[in-house]
Amino acid sequence: MRLSRRTVLQAAAATTLLNSRFAHSASTPAQPPNASNVLWYTRTAQEWVEALPIGNGRIGAMIFGGTGQERLQLNEDTLWGGGPYDPANPEAREALPEVRKLVFAGEYAKATELVNARVMAKPGRQMSYQSVGDLRLTFPGIETATDYRRDLNLDGALATTRFTSNGVKHIREVFASAPDNVLVLRLGADKPRSVDVDVTFRWPVPSRPADPPGDKLKERKQQSGGPGSVSFDNSVPAPAGLVLRALPDGDLIMQGRNSAQLGVAGALTYEARARLIVTGGKKQSNESSVSVRGADSVILLIAMATSYRDYQRVDGDPAALNKASLDRAAARSFNELLSRHQTDHRRLFRRVQLDLGQTAAADRPTDERVRTSMTGDDPALAALYYQYGRYLLIASSRPGSQPANLQGIWNDMSNPPWGSKYTININTEMNYWPAEPTDLGECVEPLIAMLKDLSVTGARTAKTMYGARGWVTHHNTDLWRATGPIDGAKYGMWPMGGAWLCQHLWDRYDYSRDVRYLESVYPILKSAAEFFLDTLVEHPNGQWLVTNPSMSPENNHRPDVSIAAGPTMDNQILRDLFANTAKAAGILNRDQEFVASLEATRKRLPPEQIGAQGQLQEWLEDWDAQVPDIHHRHVSHLYGLHPSGQISVDYTPKLAQAVRKSLEIRGDNATGWGIGWRLNLWARLRDGEHAYQVLKLLLGPERTYPNLFDAHPPFQIDGNFGGTSGMTEMLLQSLKSPKGDDEVWLLPALPKAWPQGSVTGLRARGGLRVDLNWRGGSLQECRLSAVRDGSWILRSGNSSLPVSMKAGRSQTIRLSEGVLSSS
């Protein structure tokens, strides 16, 4: 292949950059990195949950850091099974009145049978998120390695592998660029003509060994020793119709079609394409691979796309999209690609900085820190986990991408656990809990876009199945925006998924106070509320309006029976939905009669119930003591404390005490995301010591994998996001008083384990940015910056201070002898 002058100059610049990096860091590559926001290891990843994730929101990869062999496991966020479909079941409309009668009569088992027979969606499950496959690299002649280190720099969003073999120092750098829409991998060495590599694609495996679902724990062996290498499994047959070939110009291509699922035909075509830019060596295209020998360096650009346009259209051209992306990226040098990527990433990531202190434990590899986290003193691990959650949200949810699913965007299977879907009875919502308070509001845009789609597909479901206005979706959705109840009555007969997601629409407004944005989403809020105005039914007591049939997500009040009327969580979510919609209408000065109906209906929702154990009841009836699993992972009925603010220590102390009792009964140890929710709840109770103990559970080796992925088990990303949110709640809480005041709690649940530290860039409702530093367990200084004109009440302990600020102004607050004052 003839090289242009521009290509030669770019390669020379890249080589200069590589040599400078070796001069800076390769002399002691197995030493801890000089950075706090770095995950690092002294051996190759042997399991998927040891590999390191990169992503640009739309495409991503897991980097194993092999020496003689390397594996990049690839994902593209629209590669799902099936195609456009409508699962709404028209039989449901006729069956629902009888179901309601059975529920009110206490015939829950019969109601369950009828729901399963006539109400559930068709098909009864949804489509699965899938893996593109692998990019696999083999390096002839590299058999042993010393001075090995691999790391992931969260601030630079860069995964790097360094080692020495046969006297040559090798460095490999990988990142996922949002500005240039490609993955970039650079292979280099400190001696000329030392890079030999064979590159090919490999299709995904149908499944992999995984930890058991539910609450069972798997004892995983923590491996140690030398760096090793990645072991390839080549025994899996290629999917039907898959094409793998190398083009004469050097591009390597894998093309295929997604699979049919549940009777829904596969409608997507997809392509992964890699381009090799070689400096100082020879490149040869073989039938299905590309070989390079004697190179100074190699840059691989990887693009991925499907034919998906939206949930109704699948006529895109992935080959044209990929070629265009590669052509644009290839016109830039490696240095320019990296600079554009890091500037874009840091614009988001650097908004928040957290320092919780540091001990000697911070100098050890990340997997060792996780292994000893339950017994050691390592506050910097909590800070690393915190920023890792922010990194993962940036990497898996960017404007124009799909929302983060159960695994973000990282999945190596064609049939992943729970389909790696959007589970919207907690998990998808938890994914976005840290977005607003840690100043990643742009990352919520894919969720907002999905809600706009769901308001359309959910309107079909509302009309077909319920004969109602508005829109509804149940406990799961997928790429095709399916909204019907799935997975049987035990899990799926819950109509509140869309209503809960609407809370994120309101939070996006409440943190920004952007009226133009509110105007754009108000129709979604209004339509969601209309559905419940049409479908709430009168309770036999003649006073309450309740959902029926419904359930408290995934929990049974009798063996194998979950169906109920008016469970506590439903009423709490509806209070928020009706109140937020009414407030939005008032701000926009519209729909006065509609607002009156919302307010009248809201008053007839059942109040919170405190049971015989002093607990907040999960259902209208006091069934909590009889549930089959008293330590159930879900704590749905505690939504009113967090993420909502209906229950608070200050304004509803009896209910807050009942929440505390419920938490004590449930226990702290649960699935990964279940612990994450408990962390947020204990922080809202302002119990910093208990919150800290829950956080230690989350960071322990049973719930955190070596790469810091959350262990449900198996991997689910919501626990990572729940952990970041919970630590934020320990440091700052932004709540509404009953009068509607914006209250900002400073260090409300600070544990003794963090006696000094600082955080900058957190956000409070109303457009306020907050920086905090503390010493001796006490607030020293708080710096406020207003994005918009506003008024807030600051609180710390028993002290409060009202502040008013104009947009663009700043103010410093101090705490002296327990009293807040402005300086």
Half-sphere exposure of 44 (CA within 13 A, CB side): 20
pLDDT of residue 730: 98
pLDDT of residue 207: 66
Please measure the distance between the N-terminal and C-terminal CA atoms of the chain and give it in whole angstroms: 68
Span 185-193, average pLDDT: 97
Residue 472 Cα distances to 391, 453, 811, angstroms: 32, 12, 44
pLDDT of residue 220: 35
pLDDT of residue 236: 74
Q: Say whether pLDDT at 74 is over 70.
A: yes
Please determine, looking at this structure, whether the domain spanning 745-822 carries the CATH number 2.40.50.140: no
Dihedral of the alpha carbons of 221, 222, 226, 227, in degrees to the nearest 10: 100
Q: What angle do CA 207, 209, 215 make, to 5 degrees?
A: 110
pLDDT of residue 227: 64
Q: Say whether pLDDT at 683 is over 80.
A: yes
pLDDT of residue 282: 94
Residue type, 16: T
Identify which of 298, 301, 290, 276 has the alpha carbon closest to the alpha carbon of residue 18. Answer: 298
Span 7-33, average pLDDT: 41
pLDDT digits 0-9 by tens, 297-329: 999 999 999 999 999 999 999 999 999 999 999
Q: Say whether pLDDT at 524 is over 90.
A: yes
Residue type, 179: P
Residue 240 confidence class, pLDDT cut points 50, 70, 90? confident
Rg (CA), the chain: 27
pLDDT digits 0-9 by tens, 248-291: 877 999 999 999 999 999 999 999 999 999 999 999 999 999 99
Residue 27 confidence class, pLDDT cut points 50, 70, 90? very low
Q: Say whether pLDDT at 782 is over 90.
A: yes
pLDDT of residue 672: 95
Q: Return the H-helix or E-strand segment holding 562.
A: none
Identify which of 323, 333, 402, 320 has the alpha carbon closest to the alpha carbon of residue 56. Answer: 402
pLDDT digits 0-9 by tens, 198-226: 999 999 877 654 443 333 333 333 333 35
Lowest mean pLDDT among 6-20, 111-125, 181-195, 281-295: 6-20
pLDDT of residue 228: 60
pLDDT of residue 208: 53
Share of the chain above pLDDT 70, in %: 92
Residue 584 tokens, joined? 């939005």
pLDDT of residue 237: 79
Residue 13 confidence class, pLDDT cut points 50, 70, 90? very low
Residue type, 180: D
Whether residue 598 contacts residue 530, with contact meaning beta carbons closer than 8 Å, is answered with no
pLDDT digits 0-9 by tens, 446-456: 999 999 999 99
pLDDT of residue 714: 95
Span 766-782, average pLDDT: 97
For the beta carbon of residue 478, count every other beta carbon within 10 angstroms. Answer: 25
Question: Which of the following CATH numbers is that of domain 5-80+130-203+240-350: 1.10.3720.10, 3.40.50.460, 3.90.1170.30, 2.70.98.50?
Answer: 2.70.98.50
Q: Say whether pLDDT at 28 is over 80.
A: no
Residue 200 Cα distances to 67, 121, 243, 294, angstroms: 16, 41, 12, 18
Quickly name the fold that domain 91-122+465-653 has.
Glycosyltransferase (1.50.10)
Share of the chain above pLDDT 90, in %: 89
Q: What's the rounded Cα separation, in Å, for the pair 291 and 199?
A: 6
pLDDT digits 0-9 by tens, 434-479: 999 999 999 999 999 999 999 999 999 999 999 999 999 999 999 9
The full set of domain ranges for the chain reads: 5-80+130-203+240-350, 91-122+465-653, 745-822
Identify which of 229, 198, 296, 231 has the alpha carbon closest to the alpha carbon of residue 65. Answer: 229
